Structure 1
Amino acid sequence: MPTTSRLPQTDPTPVAVEPPVRRPPRGAWARVRRAALPFGSLVLFLALWQSLAASGTWSETLVPPPAKVWEAFIDVSTTHDGVRGYNGTYLVEHLGISLRRIAIGSGVGIALGVLFGLAMGTVGWLRALFEPWITFLRTLPPLAYFSLLVIWLGINEEPKVTLLAVAAFPPVAVSTTTAVAAVPRSLLEAARALGASRWDVVKDVVLPSALPETLTGVRLAVGVAYSSLVAAELVNGLPGIGGMVKDAANYNNTPVVLVGIIAIGVSGLIIDGLLLRLERAAVPWRGRS
């Protein structure tokens, strides 16, 4: 009896095939996460602040709610009841005047710090001569010598700019000195063997090698200048954001004090971000070699 092969029966009903789920690329998730985490922390901070203010543990003079601070921000940023901003100056103008002082003061301090750092890093006896004084200056709080600057220079712009320059000078000088002293000796000897002059060695070997640490010192110097801003504007600081904070504190105007503090902090974050971008553009090899 012949055997017949039986083929398996197939269901003629077509099966719907779901298209594969397209997931966003990993880089997009990273960008979303980087944006969501700071935003989430801000929302959490505002919620804790509001709950603390609403608890009644402290009075509104000590811990005003976020709504009061927002109203103060609107008041100092606009003209209200015939009053222009705070003390006749808008918030953005106070901030701009303070940023100009920081730019001039920290710019002078950074330039001097780089020059001193290069000199002390390449000449041993200069380092032995000046490094103790720079360390002494770096450990002094700004208020310790601000009164002396007022006696010497008066109460106008000179003591404020000088204080910011003195505050910004040590971080750059120390970081540049350390970076220059750490340049591999083999690179220096190779450059001299190829006939490079002293200036060529500094320009083509020392400066590129020291640049990453110098830029880190610049970021630190700007941060120190920001932290010294209110101290620099203690005397005759209006107009100026630090002077606004000091004047509002004299009248227990806590919302305006918080507006000034937030303005200083946010502008400092922005400038530090710009400096970080500059550092990445100037030394793209940092962290990759």
Structure 2
Amino acid sequence: MSTPAHAPPAGGVAAPREPRRSRPPARLRKILLPVLSLVVFLVVWQIVAATGVWNETFVPYPSTVWDAFVAVSTTQDGTRGYQGYLLWEHLYMTLRRVLAGVVLGVAVGVVVGLAMGTVPWVRRVLEPWLTFLRALPPLAYFFLLVIWLGIDEAPKITLLALAAFPPAAVATTAAVAAAPVGLVEAARALGAKPGQVIRDVIVPAALPETFTGIRLAVGIAYSSVVAAELFNGIPGIGGMVKDASNYNNTPVVLVGIAAIGISGLVIDGLLQAAERRAVPWRGRA
């Protein structure tokens, strides 16, 4: 009879096991991988800039961009930031506009999506208009908003709201339409009124996809910031980027792009954390 693979050898002394290679904890790996990718990106950027294939006006050194970051973040030789505003002031104004536009667009989008998902004739009436608006790039109607609303804050916030509205409405509509029919019918059979069915069954079932739509809405609104701040956009990151591009000031443009991207990552992380708190059942039910 053959000896089992796990049985100790003759003599009763087990062979020493090879030491297991230790792996960094999962949380540490989550931090190390992004940091490693950033280091690789900076090294490649430095090499490309050093080759001189492109003029430094188009591809500045990372150190030049860092100097621009310091310049727009501080007061140097009597010059305060960029166009009289520090970087955080530009970012604050942009975030304020994005917040106002996203809150307005998402609020209307969720309400419209809920109506479209629960009332068939509302969906038939509004869906073509929603598709039409989704297909329009922000610049296509921004100049019309400027004609109607002027060049102050109103056209900027309206543009961001119109950019955030379609993804929130579409995601909510699809989520409501996909609510479990069995649960809806069971609630009705137990005597729940239409309002109770929507509040206790449809809305909780739709929340996960609605949060996805909100994240998409924030991303699309953020991508429209430069367009929203084309006119009278300073202070504002988009206005700073637009103004710097007029003078081929690539380092400042890259600083603005980095500020938009990093703040966007932070906001998306906060939305994911809020989603985990508000929808703990996602992926489990």
From 49, 60, 78, give the equivalent of 2:45.
Answer: 49
The answer for the alignment partner of 2:208 in structure 1 is: 212
The answer for the alignment partner of 1:268 in structure 2 is: 264
From 69, 75, 78, give the equivalent of 1:79.
Answer: 75
How far 1:288 sits from its partner (Å)?
A: 2.4
The answer for the alignment partner of 1:143 in structure 2 is: 139
Measured in 1, the distance between the counterparts of 2:179 and 2:284 equals 18
In the alignment, structure 1 residue 281 sits paired with structure 2 residue 265: no
Within-5 A mapping of 1:15-30: 29-30=25-26
Amino acid at match of 1:240: G
Within-5 A mapping of 1:230-269: 230-269=226-265
Measured in 2, the distance between the counterparts of 1:32 and 1:215 equals 28
Measured in 2, the distance between the counterparts of 1:105 and 1:34 equals 32
Measured in 2, the distance between the counterparts of 1:21 and 1:87 equals 61
Within-5 A mapping of 1:109-148: 109-148=105-144
From 22, 25, 28, give the equivalent of 1:32.
Answer: 28
Measured in 2, the distance between the counterparts of 1:180 and 1:31 equals 35
The answer for the alignment partner of 1:200 in structure 2 is: 196
The answer for the alignment partner of 1:227 in structure 2 is: 223
Measured in 1, the distance between the counterparts of 2:245 and 2:126 equals 39
The answer for the alignment partner of 1:62 in structure 2 is: 58
Equivalent position SS for 2:92: helix
Measured in 2, the distance between the counterparts of 1:254 and 1:106 equals 29
The answer for the alignment partner of 1:14 in structure 2 is: none
Amino acid at match of 2:130: I
Question: What is the alpha-carbon root mean square deviation over aligned residues?
Answer: 1.5
Q: Deviations over 1:226-281 (max 9, x none)?
A: 00000000111011000000000001100000000000000000000110111111
Measured in 2, the distance between the counterparts of 1:211 and 1:31 equals 28
The answer for the alignment partner of 1:97 in structure 2 is: 93
Total equivalences in the alignment: 269
Q: Normalising to structure 1: TM-score of the pair?
A: 0.90
Q: Deviations over 1:6-60 (max 9, x none)?
A: xxxxxxxxxxxx9x97976x7x521121111111100000000000111011111
- Gaps of at least 5 residues in structure 1 are 1-17
- Gaps of at least 5 residues in structure 2 are 1-15
Higher gyration radius (CA): 1
Measured in 1, the distance between the counterparts of 2:174 and 2:284 equals 21
Measured in 2, the distance between the counterparts of 1:184 and 1:59 equals 59
Percent identity, please. 67
Equivalent position SS for 2:55: coil
From 149, 156, 161, give the equivalent of 1:153.
Answer: 149
From 158, 162, 183, give the equivalent of 1:162.
Answer: 158
Measured in 2, the distance between the counterparts of 1:185 and 1:72 equals 57
Q: Deviations over 1:85-105 (max 9, x none)?
A: 000000000000000000000
Equivalent position SS for 1:266: helix
Runs of 4+ aligned structure 1 residues displaced above 4 Å come to 20-24
Measured in 2, the distance between the counterparts of 1:71 and 1:226 equals 26
Measured in 1, the distance between the counterparts of 2:250 and 2:233 equals 18
